[in-house]
Structure 1
């Protein structure tokens, strides 16, 4: 029997509303108005099948430095994108404020690595 069940995944960041808006646009999820009130220290996104992603203000937040180890990533998000849509998806996330950290080596690999506007690494994985 499980001791617990998985709840919401939370990303620390300097500006929860901005980062929630970025991921809402990338994933086409909606911002939960019940968790976007007051000072904006906590914002949640709601996705299909009850999936949730939240953003929490962290004073003094320092982004990881990928792929270095002096400020290593502690986790990253893998987002699936149809292989024939990778280039279009990349253009759109760059327009939304992402930064390309590592390409797919001319199509030799099945993933590309980006940083979101707060510096969290995430990957587009070809599916």
Structure 2
């Protein structure tokens, strides 16, 4: 019984800490301090490893830092957690674009587009990925 009370008592503290780390992460992103933001999102993930938005946000930070591999790992985990979330597909596609895997990027972005055909950002990213794919295929054919 005492253990259960302690667990319940700790929950609000964790929620507050998670919200604080998210807020600090957002502030860091707004200042373009992506490395600090990734750290804050990591701290929040230590407290709540099942929050897909934290993975998505950290993936974005890795993208801005040019860390395609790290961005892809987070995006992939995010997509496994929330396969029907268009933003997870978008993050995965963006990471794959950075890694120049245009075929897989097109697939991920098309999945996101199918989930939300009204999302202009995903639509534009898909068009860009298709364009890069065409260019890469034409240069490799030469």
TM class by shorter-chain length?
under 0.3
The higher-RCO structure (CA 8 Å, 6+ apart) is 1
Greater helix content: 2
**Max Rg structure:** 2
State the TM-score, normalizing by the size of structure 2: 0.20
State the TM-score, normalizing by the size of structure 1: 0.22
Greater strand content: 1
